[in-house]
C-alpha cells in the first residue's frame, strides 16, 4: 500500500521501518527533518509537509501529545487538508479521548476515514515489530488497514467500533503500569526499612506471584534507585495519568489510584524530576518513610 | 525428622501431607479433631492438645490469625510449655509483626528456637508442594529445618536473620495482590463504561504487559463479577492489609495505596461482603461509577 | 460611574441592584432577557448584546463558567470588541486560572484594563451587599474601580497585582468548603453508627471548636440528609474542584484532599446526583459505611 | 463531693484546681509527685498511689493514653481495686473505644460506675474552666456527677448512655481539627506558589467564611511555619487519628480523609517530626510542592 508516516521518534522510526520491510510504499514526515534520513536510506520517500505525507491510501501519526497531533492535522498543508476521500488516518499516538473523538468527526465530514491504533511496547519492541496494536474503528476501515497494522506489531487487538475506546484502553494500560511502580515503591520502602535487601525481595516477588516482566523491569529500577536516563520521562507519565483521569471524568468513573498517582507525579516534578524516568515516582514512598 | 503440625485448614492439610510424603514422622493437631482423620489415614499421629504435637524436633503452626496462634502457643499444655530446648517453632501463619517478635523473644527465653516461614500460594499449590516459602531466622536454625521447608514447597527463600522480616514480606505480597485487584477494578470500570468488553480487555492485558497469572486469575473474577465462593474471604483480606499498615506504622512507612485498600475493604464489609472473595473490592469501582 | 453588568443569575442580580442603589449608571445584559426586567424596574438600562453593556467605564461579568464567559467576551458585538481603551473588565465569575490569564493578556493588547474580582457569599448575601470581594490586578486599576467593588460587598481584599491570584484564592475557598462537607460527612457517619444523634453532635461541634457558620450550615444539611433543592449544584462543585486541581497542576502543587473530593463528586454524579446540592458528597461516607 | 483526680498534666492540673475552687474535697495523684505540690498548696490532699486517690465518691482520670490509664486502673493498689461500690470513675482521657468499653464492663462487675467524659479545649481553657465536656453513660450516673463536670468546664454535653460514644465524639473532633490543618496546608501551598501572601490569605479566610478560632489558630502557625514548641505533639496527633480509624474499623466506617491524615503523620514522624506540633503535617503540602 501507499502509506505515509508522520512522527519519527523512538517509536515511529521503528514502525515506519517495518512498513518498508513489509514492502509498502512509505512516505515519511518529521518536524526536524534530520530524522527522516535514516528512513530514506531504507527506501522511504521524504515529505516536507505533513500534507505531502498524507496523499496515499493511509497515513500513520505517532506524535508526542495532543498539541503535536493537532498541529500536523489542522495546519495549512496538513493531514486533514490533504487526505483523499476514503483514505485512512491511523492514529497511534497516546492522545486524549476528546481529541480522538474530534478527529473521527472531522475526518468523517471530509469523507475520510479514521482508526485509533495506539500501541503497547517500548522502542526496541517497535524496532523488532513486536509491539501490540490496540485498534478501534469501523470494521471495514480496520480490515482495509490490517496489513499495515500487522506489519508494525506482533498482534492486533480489535476492541470496538468506537475509535476512542482504543485510546482509553491504551491510557488504562499506562495507568496499570504506573500502579505497579507505585505499589512496588511502597512495598520496597516497607521491607527495606525492615532490613530486607531490595533485590532479594524482588527475586521473591518475580519468582512467585509476580512473574510479569513489568515487575522485573520496574522493580529493578526501583531497587537500584536508577531513574536516569529516562526511558519514558516523568512529564509524559503525568500526561497519561491526566488523560486517564480526564476520560474518567467524561465517563464519570472515579479512579482513586489514578488520583494518587497524579499527586505523586506532581510531587516528583515539583521537586526537580522533569528529566527522570517515570518510575521515579516509586522512590517517593521511601522518601516519605525517611529512608531515601 | 520428628515434627508436629498445628492447624489443618486448607493450607495446613496439604503441607502436613507433604511432610509425611517426604518421610517425616508427623504428629498433627487441629482444634476440630475431625480434620485430623484424613492425615491419620496417611500415617500421621493425632495429638489431642497443641502441646502433644510439640514434643518433636520441630513444630509447624499454620493458623488463621494472631489470636488462634496465641491460643495454641500460650495455653496450658500449649506449644510454648511443651517444646524441648533447642527444638524449633516454624511459624507459617500470616500474622502480625508484633506477634512474630514476641514469639521470637518468648521462645528464646525458654532456649527454644523460632523461625518465621510464611508461604505464598493457594491450597492447590500447598497440596502439590508447589508453594513458596519465605523464611527468616538465625541461619543455623534455618539450616536445621531446611529439609522440612523444602518438603512443603517448591523453593525456600531465606531473607533475613530477623524472623519478623519474613512476615513483613508475606504481608507486602498480599498488599501487592490487593493492589492488582483494585487497579484492575478501576481500569475495568473505565473501559467497561466506554463500551469495551471486559473479557476482551483482559485478554489484551494478559497477552501484552500483564502476563502474570495473578492478572489472569483476578481479572477473570472481576470480568465475571463472580465473588463467590470465597477462595480467600474479604475479612481475611482486610486483616492482612491492617497488618501491613500496622507494620508500616511501627516502622514509620506511609503506604497510601494500602490506606485506600483498607477503606475499600471496610466499604465492602459494611455493605454485606463478609462472605465474598476479597477480589470483590475490585467491584466497588464499577459501583462508584454507577455501572454495577 | 457608568457601568455594565453581564450575567444576572442568583448572584449577579443582587450585585447589579446594589450598584444601582449606590447611584451608579448601570446597563445590564443577560442571555435570557426576562431576567433583565427586574433590574430595569429599579432603573437599569437593558442591553441586547454583551457589547452594548460594555461601553461604559467598567463592566462586570458574573457567569456560570469559562465557556459562558468566553462567549460574551469573544463573540461578535461582544465585550472585548466593545470596551473602550482604559475601561475596566471586572471579572467576578469563578473561572479557571488559564482563562483569567488569557483575558488579562487579550485586554492588555486592546489597551483595555482587567481585574479579577471573584466573591465569597451566597445569593442572599449578594442581595444584601454583604459578600466579600477578593480582587487582584494592577493597583491603579483596582483604585479606579474600588467604588464599584465597595458597592457590591461588605469588604474588598486586594491580594495581588496578578489578576489570576484572585481566582486561585476563590477556588481555594471552595476547596476548603468542600473539605468541611466531606470531613463532616465522615465524622457523622462514624458517630452516627455509634448511635449518637447527628443534630446533637452538630451542636457539640458548633458550640465548641467549630463555631464558623459554615459548619452549622452544611452540618445541618448533612444531619437532615437534605440535599434538595440545590443551593449550589453538585456539577458546579465538581467544576470548581477541577479548576483548583488544574491550578495545582499548572503550579505543580499536589492537593490530595482535592483529589479525594473530585472522586467523591464523580461518584455522586455517576449515581444520579446531578440535581443535588454539592453537600450531597458528604452523604457518601454514610453510604460507604452501609448506613444510608 | 469527695473526689479524686489522677493525672496532673497540662489539662489535669487546671481541672483539679477548678474542682477545689468549686468547694469539693479533692485528692490528687500523679506518677511524678512533684506536680502534686501546686495542687496541695491550693488545698488538695496528695495520694501516693492511684488507689488512695480513688476512695471517694468519684475519681477523674486524665492521662496521656490507653497504657497510662490501664496502669493506674489495673495495678495493685490501683483504681479498680480501690473504688467503692457505687462510686464513679470519670474517664476524661482521650482513649480508645475498646478500652472505654472494657472499663465500663470491668467497673460494672465490681458494682462500680463509669462515665466517659472527654473534654475539648486547650490547657489555658482547662485552667479557666472554659473547656467543654462531652459525657456519656447511664443517666443517673451522669446526674450524680454533674456538679463535678460543671465545675471543670463551661458546658457539659450529654450525648449517649453508651460511655464509648463520648470517646468517639472526642476522637472525631480531633479528626476534624487535623482535617482543618491539612486542608489549610494544601490551600496555602497553592496560593503561596501563586504569589499570595499567606497571612493576608488567612485574613481573607477568617474574615469571611472561616471565622472559627481554629482556622485562625492553626492558619497562623502554618503561615508562620512555626511548629515549635509543640502545643500538642505530632505523635499524639497520630495516636488520635489511629484511634479514630480503629473506631471506624470496629464499626466498619471508612474514613478516607483520616487515612490520608495518618499517612501525613507517618511521613512527618519518619522525617524527624517527633517534637513538632501536630500542625506540622500542614507543612508537608508545601514540601511536596517544592516550596518549603
C290 touches chain A (CB under 8 A): no
- Do C248 and A255 count as a contact with CB atoms less than 8 A apart? no
The cell numbers describing C272, all together, are 444520579
Q: Which of A161, A179, A205 is the last residue of a domain?
A: A161
pLDDT at B190 over 80: yes
C193 touches chain D (CB under 8 A): yes
Q: Which of A132, A161, A190 is the last residue of a domain?
A: A161
According to DSSP, the residues that pair with B131 across neighbouring strands are: B153
pLDDT (average), residues C41-51:
96
Beta-carbon contacts of B97 under 8 Å, excluding residues fewer than 6 positions away, are B164, B167, B168, B171, B243, B246, B247, B250
Task: Please report the pLDDT score of residue C34 as a whole number.
Answer: 87
Residues in A touching B155 (Cβ below 8 Å): 207
Q: Read off φ and ψ for residue C136, nearest 5 degrees.
A: -145, 145
pLDDT in tens, D130-147: 999 999 999 999 999 999
DSSP label at residue B91: E
Per-residue pLDDT tens for B210-219?
998 899 999 9
Sort out which chain D residues have CB atoms less than 8 A from C215's CB and list them.
212
Range of the domain at D44: 2-161
Whether cis (ω within 30° of 0) applies to the bond prior to B229 is yes
How many domains does chain C contain in total?
Answer: 2
pLDDT of residue C292: 76
Q: What are phi and psi of C175, to 5 degrees?
A: -60, -45
CA distances from A244 to A122, A166, B81, B194 (A): 20, 12, 58, 12
Among all residues of chain C, which has the CA nearest to that of A256? C263
Q: Are residues D197 and D264 in the same domain?
A: yes
**Nearest chain A residue (CA) to D267:** A288
Give per-residue pLDDT as tens, B46-104.
999 999 999 999 999 999 999 999 999 999 999 999 999 999 999 999 999 999 999 99
Q: Cell 470494521 identifies what position?
A: A139
Question: Measured in whole angstroms, how far is the alpha carbon of residue B137 from the centre of its chain?
Answer: 18
- Reported ipTM: 0.95
Are β-strands A119-120 and D153-160 bridged in parallel, bridged antiparallel, or unpaired? Answer: unpaired
Residue B202's CATH number? 1.10.1040.10
In this structure, the answer to whether residues D208 and D127 fall within a common structural domain is no
For residues D10-24, give the mean pLDDT: 97
Cα–Cα distance for residue pair D253/A257, rounded to 1 Å: 20
Of B258, A14, C159, whose CA–CA distance to D192 is shortest?
C159
CB within 8 Å: A263 and C259: yes
pLDDT at D292 over 80: no
Query: What CATH number corresponds to the domain at position B155?
Result: 3.40.50.720
> CA separation (Å) from C111 to C81, C115, C116, D216?
12, 13, 17, 41
Rounded to an integer, the average pLDDT of B163-171 is: 97
Element spanning A131, H or E: strand A131-136
Specify the pLDDT at position D264.
98
Whether residue B269 has pLDDT greater than 90: yes
Q: How far apart are CA D83 and CA D59, in angstroms?
A: 8
Are C89 and C103 a contacting pair, CB within 8 Å? yes
Please check whether residues B24 and B102 belong to one and the same domain: yes
* Spatial separation of the C-alpha atoms in residues B148 and B137, rounded to whole Å: 15
Minimal CA–CA distance to D162: which of D140, D138, D133? Answer: D138
**D225 shares a domain with D156:** no
Summarize pLDDT for C84-113 with one digit per residue, the tens. 999 999 999 999 999 999 999 999 999 999
More confident residue, D22 or C231: D22
Residue D271 contacts A, CB cutoff 8 Å: yes
Helix locations, C63-197, DSSP H: 66-74, 79-82, 97-109, 123-127, 139-152, 163-193
Q: Say if residue B141 is in the same domain as residue B172.
A: no
pLDDT of residue C246: 97
Is residue B146 domain-shared with residue B174, that is, in the same domain? no
Tell me the nearest-neighbour CA distance from D252 into chain B, angstroms.
5
Same domain, D32 and D154: yes
In this prediction, residue B33 carries a pLDDT of: 87
Q: Which of A249, A256, A267 sits opposite C254 (nearest CB)?
A: A267
Q: Which of A59, B281, A78, A96 is nearest to C288 (CA)?
A: B281
With an 8 Å Cβ cutoff, is C272 touching chain B? yes
Give one DSSP letter per residue of D217-286, joined into a string: HHHHHHHHT---S-SSBHHHHHHHHHHHHHHHHHHT---HHHHHHHHHHHHHHHTT-TTSBGGGGGGHHH
pLDDT above 90: residue D122: no
Q: Which three cell numbers stand for residue D190?
A: 497553592
pLDDT at C221 over 80: yes
Cα–Cα distance, B172 to A196 (Å, whole number): 12
pLDDT of D23-69, one tens digit each? 999 999 999 988 999 999 999 999 999 999 999 999 999 999 999 99
Kind plus residue range of the DSSP H or E element containing B136: strand B131-136
Chains touching chain A through at least 3 C-beta pairs below 8 angstroms are: B, C, D
Condensed to tens digits (0 to 9), the pLDDT of residues A193-246 reads 999 999 999 999 999 889 988 999 999 999 999 999 998 899 999 999 999 999
The pLDDT value given to residue B37: 92
Are C155 and C149 contacting, i.e. CB atoms less than 8 angstroms apart? Answer: no
Q: How many CA atoms lie within 13 A of A166 on its CB side?
A: 32
Cell triple for residue C274? 446531578
Position B212 scores a pLDDT of: 87
Which helix or strand (DSSP H or E) is residue A273 part of? none
- Of D161, D180, D200, the one marking the end of a domain is D161
Q: According to DSSP H, which parts of B42-162 are helical? A: 66-74, 79-82, 97-109, 123-127, 139-152
pLDDT at B132: 96
Q: Shortest CA distance to A166 belongs to which of B180, B200, D212, D192?
A: B200
| CB < 8 Å from A in window 105-164 of B | 120-121, 132, 134, 155, 157, 159-160, 162, 164
pLDDT value for C48: 94
pLDDT number for residue C285 = 98
CB proximity B204 to D under 8 Å: no
* pLDDT at C276 (0 to 100): 98
What pLDDT band is residue B122 in, cutting at 50, 70 and 90? confident
Residue A285 has pLDDT above 80, yes or no: yes
For residues C79 and C11, state if they share a domain.
yes
* CA nearest to A163 within chain B: B194
Cβ atoms within 10 A of the Cβ of D67, count?
Answer: 10
**Do both D113 and D150 map to the same domain?**
yes
DSSP assignment of D55-96, as one string?
SSSEEEE--SSHHHHHHHHHSTT-HHHHPPTT-EEEE-S---
Residue A236 CA to residue A274 CA, distance in Å, equals 10
CA dihedral B75, B77, B79, B83 (to 10 degrees): 150
Indicate if B122 and B138 belong to the same structural domain: yes
Across chain D, what does the average pLDDT equal? 96
Nearest CA in chain C to D204: C157
Q: Which helix (H) or strand (E) holds B2?
A: strand B2-6
- In this structure, are A53 and A107 located in the same domain? yes
Taking the C-alpha atoms of residue A64 and residue A61, their distance in angstroms, rounded to an integer, is: 10
D227-265 pLDDT, tens per residue?
Answer: 999 988 999 999 999 999 999 999 999 999 999 999 999
Residues on chain D touching C205 (C-beta within 8 angstroms)? 173, 176
Which positions in chain B touch D253 (Cβ < 8 Å)?
A: 266, 270
The catalytic site residues of C sit at 170
Label residue C122 by pLDDT band (50, 70, 90): confident
* Helix, strand, coil share of chain A (percent; to 5): 55, 15, 30
Return d(Cα C9, Cα C18) in angstroms, integer: 14
- pLDDT digit string, tens, across residues A1-19: 999 999 999 999 999 999 9
Of D168, D187, D213, the CB nearest to C190: D168
Is residue D272 domain-shared with residue D144, that is, in the same domain?
no
CA distance C87 to C79: 11
Predicted pLDDT at B34: 87
Amino acid at each position: 500500500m501507499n502509506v505515509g508516516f508522520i512522527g519519527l521518534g523512538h517509536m515511529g522510526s521503528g514502525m515506519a521501518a517495518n512498513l518498508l520491510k513489509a514492502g509498502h510504499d512509505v512516505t515519511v514526515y518529521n518536524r526536524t527533518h534530520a530524522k527522516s534520513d535514516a528512513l530514506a536510506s531504507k527506501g522511504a520517500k521524504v515529505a516536507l509537509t505533513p500534507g505531502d505525507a498524507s496523499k496515499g491510501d493511509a497515513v500513520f501519526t505517532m506524535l508526542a501529545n495532543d498539541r503535536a497531533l493537532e498541529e500536523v492535522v489542522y495546519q495549512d498543508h496538513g493531514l486533514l487538508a490533504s487526505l483523499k476521500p476514503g483514505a485512512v488516518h491511523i492514529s497511534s499516538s497516546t492522545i486524549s479521548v476528546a481529541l480522538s473523538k474530534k478527529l473521527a468527526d472531522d475526518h468523517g465530514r471530509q469523507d475520510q476515514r479514521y482508526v485509533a491504533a495506539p500501541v503497547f511496547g517500548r522502542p526496541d519492541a517497535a524496532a523488532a515489530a513486536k509491539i501490540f496494536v490496540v485498534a478501534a474503528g469501523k470494521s471495514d476501515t480496520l480490515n482495509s488497514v490490517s496489513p499495515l497494522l500487522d506489519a508494525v506489531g506482533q498482534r492486533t487487538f480489535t476492541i470496538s467500533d468506537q475509535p476512542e475506546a482504543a485510546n482509553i484502553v491504551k491510557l488504562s494500560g499506562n495507568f496499570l503500569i504506573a500502579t505497579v511502580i507505585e505499589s512496588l515503591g511502597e512495598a520496597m520502602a516497607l521491607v527495606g526499612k525492615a532490613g530486607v535487601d531490595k533485590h532479594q525481595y524482588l527475586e521473591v516477588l518475580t519468582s512467585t506471584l509476580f512473574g510479569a516482566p513489568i515487575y522485573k523491569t520496574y522493580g529493578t529500577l526501583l531497587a537500584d534507585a536508577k531513574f536516569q536516563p529516562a526511558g519514558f520521562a516523568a512529564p509524559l507519565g503525568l500526561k497519561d495519568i491526566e488523560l486517564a483521569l480526564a476520560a474518567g471524568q467524561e465517563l464519570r468513573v472515579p479512579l482513586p489510584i489514578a488520583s494518587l498517582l497524579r499527586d505523586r507525579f506532581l510531587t516528583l516534578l515539583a521537586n526537580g524530576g522533569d528529566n527522570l524516568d517515570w518510575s521515579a515516582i516509586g522512590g517517593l514512598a521511601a522518601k516519605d518513610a525517611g529512608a531515601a
